[in-house]
Chain A
């Protein structure tokens, strides 16, 4: 760690910001890609050349413009109903990002609370909560999501809530482990003797300590959830049409794979690009905040 710092300061050519943040080129690339996706999702109505739901039946299955048979105006071609691919790809980023970010936020809230309470209270409650964690971890998660979604129905709000209820386990584990190590420290006793409530002290000391690993896990989790959302939509269990999802585009496009490869190829590229950006950022965050874990 130390010699790397000296080297970085010694080079001098890097900007101040890059040196302080120890930015890696890949992380910068990742941030640019992620920022582009966020802008795209927010400004979708202004960026998309067409309404993503309106079919142009005269231009069905048009290939991208650079290929033979491409239709001017449909840059990335059209799908089996003649809907503009580019517009649909742009709109698809909305669901991916919404599910990714809010799913993680939901899971984070539940996980941190469970971890704090479970670790602090200990005893039977702790044993019970850890039992729940281990049970949830043992069930292959796609199966669990599919079953729950089939039972409760499919909507964006529900999907995010269900992700929160299933995906919190890693956060709970990390927070609980930290609570257990800190609980026995002397400053907790010291704080109690001066009249501070132990729970308050705990939160004040535990949270800053787990911030690093939690940010890293959360970033990687967003990537994982984006792939999960895509697979659920692909299987027909995600947010339902007319809302555009990349996973649904992919499953629609699969039927035309032999004749119109772009229908399935482009949405997958979008998913890959977005998760790639998050992995780049996550890797950098891990080097930066969580030096204990492996690179």
Chain B
């Protein structure tokens, strides 16, 4: 197991290099950072001096290597907007808010999809299945920012149950969590339904039933265990889209996480912060996938990671 984890982490290295390459290229084409720093009135001498100081006069490959060295050393550059504060610090300050939002979204998605998926698999072809699939298709089709605005309209403005935006209130996370989690809930419901139907048709389930095990126990102890495997994988795969969705959701609810920070940073050309967010988000996605794969073998002992 240890060997497997180490190997997986090593496999992440080329992907990380690829991501930094993409980011590096974007940084270089996004405009001259020196001119951005000095402004329009800078003399050519000043520009040349700073260019040399930042190593921008060296060959591009060397520049990339220097860039990589800085990244590995934890130096993601300094933020233009936040008075030269290290970009990594600026981003990490906002991370807990996004983690809370994403955690809430995941929780809501699981809380909806587990019962909905099970019910629609058991009551196949009957009303509960149709109702569940109606909502899961709708959940996939609705843009999350629109859902967010409609939730604000109904539950914050109309009924006054939740605050319109911000995170001061203890329950403020519910609406953004619901807006972000809805499409994940939809995907997971569909998936759980189809994998449960597949599992329930297998021989060992018939055997278990024939032995006289109560239907509830067959479901909980025998069927769910197998059906949850693909459920878990998809949660891992959807981590990236949860992060992407958070960018828009945070904008709708003025939720002060890294999504909101990303938009502000992009608008003000604070490229150090932008690159930090992109790289950090990618690392989070990859680590989530790794954790899911490891969990996988805990749930299913048949999978051996030698």
Contact = CB atoms under 8 A, between A and B. Distances in A.
B149 A250 contact: yes
Interface of B: 14-15, 18-19, 21-22, 26, 29-31, 137-138, 140-147, 149-150, 152-153, 157, 191, 194-195, 198, 240-241, 243-245, 247-248, 251-252, 262-263, 266-267, 269, 274, 277-278, 281-282, 285-286
The number of chain A residues touching the other chain, given as a range, is 35 or more
A19 interface: no
A272 interface: yes
B143 A231 contact: yes
Nearest to B248: A231
A143 B244 contact: yes
Contacts of B267: 150
A268 B30 CA distance: 33
Given A227-B143, A264-B153, A268-B143, A147 B248 contact: no
A136 to B, nearest CB: 8
Contacts of B240: 137-141
Contacts of A275: 140-143
A294 B150 contact: no
Given A234-B145, A250-B145, A268-B146, A142 B248 contact: yes
A interface secondary structure, majority = helix
Contact of A139 (B19, B31, B157, B266): B19
A131, A138, A265 — which one has the most chain B CB atoms within 10 A of its CB? Answer: A138
Contacts of B191: 294
A65 interface: no
19 contacts: A135-B21, A137-B240, A139-B281, A140-B281, A141-B244, A144-B278, A146-B263, A227-B143, A230-B145, A231-B144, A234-B143, A234-B248, A235-B248, A250-B145, A254-B252, A257-B157, A271-B146, A294-B195, A295-B194
Contact of B141 (A144, A250, A276): A276
A147, A265, A279, A280 — which one has the most chain B CB atoms within 10 A of its CB? Answer: A147
